[in-house]
Chains A and B, each alone.
Chain A
Amino acid sequence: MKRDLSSHILLSFIKKLAVFLLFIAPSTYADWQLNLREGVTEISRSVYSLHMIIFWICVVIAVVVFGVMLWSVIYHRKSRGAKAQNFHENVYVEIAWTIVPILILVGMAVPATATLKKMYDSSESDIDIQVTGYQWKWRYQYLESGVDFFSSLATPIEQIQGESEKTENYLLEVDNPLVIPVGKKVRFLITANDVIHSWWVPDFAVKKDAIPGFINESWVKAEHTGIYRGQCAELCGKDHGFMPIVVEVKSQEDYQLWLKDQQLAQAEKAKSAEKRWTLDELMVTGKEVYMKSCAACHQANGEGVPGAFPALKGSPLVQGDPGAHIDVVLNGKAGTAMQAFRDQLSATELAAVITYERNAWGDSLGDIISPSQIAKLKQ
């Protein structure tokens, strides 16, 4: 990143001041980025240049206005013997300082309109991906190739709670990143399953709200391969700060390979439901799934959060008829935060997590919900 000398000196001064103020060494990965990123698309670069133009216009106006003010504060003070003048209006000056700003604004509006128009043109895309916001993860569905997966935070809870060292991409890493090819126009169809989220990747200058019942469009044509990170940008409840977005831009060949792998893995997953599972196997998988998909609300110990999320431990639903229990997990509960996990998890994962809930926390009912049973219900 190029910085001129003066801003460099200013920056190092601020740095020293902060260190002095805090008496603590700045965190290893912290930096002092001051400005917007230029990004990796044609759109993001024109957004960046619009940003810089309007910024410098503001700086020039500020220097002039605050300059006159500072001049008056220094030279027209009573302690210097300044006598107040009598003028209190001047039609010409007043007209001038109304007209000139209007002209500046028109000058600004023209390039802004052009950029906005380009951003809105999502036609003739090469690939279409549906992006769905869930509390608190993203789902990516590749409409042409049928690849479909969820993407959630990969940072371990120990790092968040300060029990282990925070790593470089703290809170900006996911289990399954979105993968797109370089140089292709990728159209995103953005929606949400529960509350409003917002899908934002700063390097693409794409931010669009994901709204239940609406499908918003946006697009990107990335110019370089690489990994680009963003975050949900609309308050969506408790874990709003913990649903990052990671996009991997791959070369065309790598992208094709990745697609094949995904399709194979999906077929593999479907098959696993046909296998016979033991209680212990289901409990192991179930615990993994529970921690990933359920513990955020119902807590790791199954006790929930009183008034917000019900306890599963000792719950009549969990201890009662398996049918009702399965129904809630698969189809969610209308009017509450309980989501439908039918599409989010595979039959095996669903069976495992339900089995886990029925047998963990000392509620050992000993019953097994088999993956094949769930697979039938899912059809």
Chain B
Amino acid sequence: MSATEQTVSADMQHGEVNTQDTEHHHGPAKGFSRWLFTTNHKDIGSMYLWFSLAMFMTGGCMALLIRMELFQPGLQMMQPDFFNQMTTMHGLIMVFGAVMPAFVGLANWMIPMMIGAPDMALPRLNNWSFWILPFAFSMMLFTLFMEGGAPNFGWTFYAPLSTTYAPPSVTFFIFAVHMMGISSIMGAINVIVTILNMRPKGMVMMKLPLFVWTWLITAFLLILVMPVLAGVVTMMLMDIHFGTSFFSAAGGGDPVLFQHVFWFFGHPEVYIMILPAFGVVSEIIPTFSRKKLFGYSSMVYATSSIAFLSFIVWAHHMFTVGMPLAGELFFMFATMLIAVPTGVKVFNWVATMFRGSMTFETPMLFAIAFVVLFSIGGFSGLMLAIAPVDFQYHDTYFVVAHFHYVLVPGSVFSIMAAAYYWLPKWTGNYYNEKMGKLHFWLSFIGINITFFPMHFVGLAGMPRRIPDYALQFADFNAVSSVGAFIFGFSQLLFIYNIVSCIRTKNQATPEVWEGAKGLEWTVPSPAPYHTFTTPPKVD
């Protein structure tokens, strides 16, 4: 099947490369205005990544406060209401502030360079979609200082707890969610237009790198579901301020309707956070196995199937709301089906490593850990899909363990892998490999100490979102808290490594990695401010 072969090579003739960085007015502006007014995909990508790192640390601090309170039974650090504010803000910040912007940052940096385009298709829109975010999150964080405190109804903000019974700050939360939604939709439009219109001749769809493919599919998911989120928060706004009763039973409304609408957004949302991670891992594993990705086309089809299935499984989050039997069965079967394309992806990654010639630089370590730990999250996901058993797992720490396994060693590890993988391309310098490996091992150990025991306390019967617990859960909770601090503090190594990679000269080659294939590795390191102003030749 030579048509799908991904042998891509750029025209590296000297004259063409020179046109990219000699003309002075193509360089970046100086000072703060460079960042404020930039339309350059690399600048915007960097801003997204720094922003997401800042949010990751902020949300992480909240997680550590939560783990401090849960270190022992009893209330020591905080009152229950503040605990609820912390779990809510931790979830919202990590989902909307850390993971999603990080992937948009990676998309900004890498998609044009991977497909051979000079920039994103809609550069001004790109600038705006980034600059909305700091305002949205400042507003959300400032609710912590409002009378009545920050949102305290969980990141899933189920009505009527988030409407009739919510603190006054809920209105600001709604506004912030609207802003994030606008930002995401614009980012998604930009990704789709760039991928569909800015490919050079010869870069047919089935030659696109998998990171680009997964992002294309993610962008469609975003466009389809972010308006649903906007809709549901607007209905909340109407209920709170304009006397409607969408979700209030007393006024003839339906609290379960909220959950249906929310999860119609929410389930595709969790795939929005994992599909680009699949893409990243599908780039890294072939590079360090020095072997082509196994089953490229089946990867594309599997990703598309997962995206499709994500729209018909939402109510598996609601098995206990009392749906009719037929509904329960439909959502159980549809959910179990997701295991099939997800399995295909895992098998493909393993087959790529099989009979390769592997080395284990930091990005590869994170990618391998991703495959193993994400699969563990997948297994618990399959267990959760079995509706009658889900009645025992639902809203316990088993669920907390499950989604942290797919989100932290899943999405977050893939983002870290991507950062280490492409840092030399972005900065022109190799990062400190030893420190990178230390960061990996501390994170790997920390994460498992934190989240693995949560499976046990969940099965033993500990509900989630409680600030205090019965005594039989004490020991595993103490263990989890210790793990959380190991994981949390080892991220300082990550930040140090990034900063020193930018500041310490350790010239990287254009190819950077021995087994790296793809257009981004044909431009010099660091990548010039403008790349591919002339389309590369792709064959």
Contact = CB atoms under 8 A, between A and B. Distances in A.
Interface of A: 15, 18, 21-22, 24, 26-37, 46-47, 50-51, 54-55, 58, 61-62, 65-66, 68-69, 71-73, 76-79, 82-89, 93-94, 97-98, 101-102, 105, 108-109, 112-113, 115-117, 119-120, 135, 159-162, 166, 168-172, 194-196, 198, 200, 202, 205-209, 211-214, 216-217, 230-242, 305-308, 334-337
B418 to A, nearest CB: 21
A307 B383 contact: no
Given A65-B375, A98-B344, A307-B146, A237 B394 contact: no
Given A35-B459, A116-B332, 4 more contacts: A66-B375, A76-B354, A85-B355, A101-B339
B75 A162 contact: yes
Interface string B136-172: 0000000000111100111000101100110110000
Interface string B195-235: 00000000000000000000000000000000000000000
A54 B161 contact: no
B350 A69 contact: yes
Contacts of A209: 320-322
A184 B149 CA distance: 47
B250 A97 contact: no
Nearest to A118: B388
Contacts of B463: 200, 231-233, 240-241
Contacts of B387: 112, 116
A2 B456 CA distance: 17
A70 B450 CA distance: 24
Given A72-B355, A209-B320, A211-B256, A88 B291 contact: yes
Contact of A22 (B146, B383, B478): B478
B308 interface: no
A107 to B, nearest CB: 11
Interface stretch (B11-19, B57-65, B76-84, B426-434): B76-84
Contact of B389 (A51, A62, A79, A211): A51
Nearest to A230: B461
A119 B81 contact: no
B289 interface: yes
B460 A238 contact: no
B161 A236 contact: yes
Contact of A168 (B84, B392, B471): B471
Nearest to A233: B395
B325 A120 contact: yes
A162 B353 CA distance: 53
A214 to B, nearest CB: 7
B320 A208 contact: yes
Given A72-B355, A72-B356, A61 B347 contact: no
Contacts of B464: 235
Contact of B353 (A72, A105, A237): A72
B371 interface: yes
Looking at A85, A202, A209, which has the most chain B CB atoms within 10 Å of its CB? Answer: A209
B153 A235 contact: yes
A115 B388 contact: yes
A172 B468 CA distance: 11
A117 B325 contact: yes
Contact of B357 (A18, A47, A84, A195): A84
A69 B358 CA distance: 12
Contacts of A116: 325, 328-329, 332, 387-388
Contacts of A205: 388, 391-392
Interface in B340-376: 340, 343-344, 346-347, 350-360, 368, 371-372, 375-376
B174 interface: no
Given A22-B478, A84-B290, A207-B391, A68 B354 contact: yes
B3 interface: no
Contact of A108 (B296, B321, B375, B386): B386
A318 to B, nearest CB: 21
Interface in B474-493: 474-476, 478-479, 482
A308 B250 contact: no
B386 A112 contact: yes
Contact of A109 (B168, B336, B360): B336
Contact of A234 (B254, B332, B357, B395): B395
Interface string B375-407: 110010011001111011011100000000000
A217 B322 contact: yes
A339 B443 CA distance: 47
A79 to B, nearest CB: 7
Nearest to B378: A58
A166 B73 contact: yes
Contact of A335 (B1, B164, B372, B468): B164
A8 B156 CA distance: 39
B456 A33 contact: yes
B470 A69 contact: no
B320 A62 contact: no
A51 B383 contact: yes
A57 to B, nearest CB: 8
B322 A33 contact: no
A21 B356 CA distance: 39
B466 A240 contact: yes
B395 A22 contact: no
Given A58-B383, A68-B350, A238-B80, A109 B332 contact: yes
A112 B388 contact: yes
Contact of B456 (A34, A195, A207): A34
A54 B388 CA distance: 12
Given A26-B475, A242-B468, A88 B294 contact: yes
Contacts of A58: 379, 382-383
Contacts of B343: 97-98, 101
B388 A78 contact: no
B472 interface: yes
Given A73-B368, A160-B74, A213-B250, A78 B344 contact: no
Given A235-B154, A307-B147, A307-B168, A84 B254 contact: no
Nearest to B338: A105
B292 interface: yes
A276 B332 CA distance: 61
B535 interface: no
A159 B292 contact: no
27 contacts: A15-B475, A22-B482, A26-B474, A34-B460, A50-B386, A58-B379, A72-B355, A73-B353, A73-B358, A77-B360, A89-B294, A109-B333, A159-B74, A166-B471, A195-B161, A198-B320, A207-B392, A207-B394, A211-B249, A211-B322, A230-B461, A235-B154, A237-B84, A238-B84, A239-B80, A240-B463, A305-B81
Q: Which 8 A-B pairs have the closest CB atoms?
A: A213-B249, A307-B148, A241-B466, A307-B147, A216-B322, A58-B379, A29-B471, A33-B460
Given A34-B460, A58-B379, A18 B255 contact: no
Contacts of A119: 388, 391
Given A50-B389, A238-B84, A84 B355 contact: yes
Nearest to A232: B463
Given A18-B478, A108-B386, A308-B148, A202 B392 contact: yes
A168 B249 CA distance: 39
Given A55-B383, A171-B468, A171-B470, A94 B298 contact: yes
Contacts of A101: 339-340, 343
Contacts of A307: 146-149, 167-168
Given A65-B346, A212-B250, A82 B389 contact: no
Nearest to A168: B471
B437 interface: no
Contacts of B375: 62, 65-66
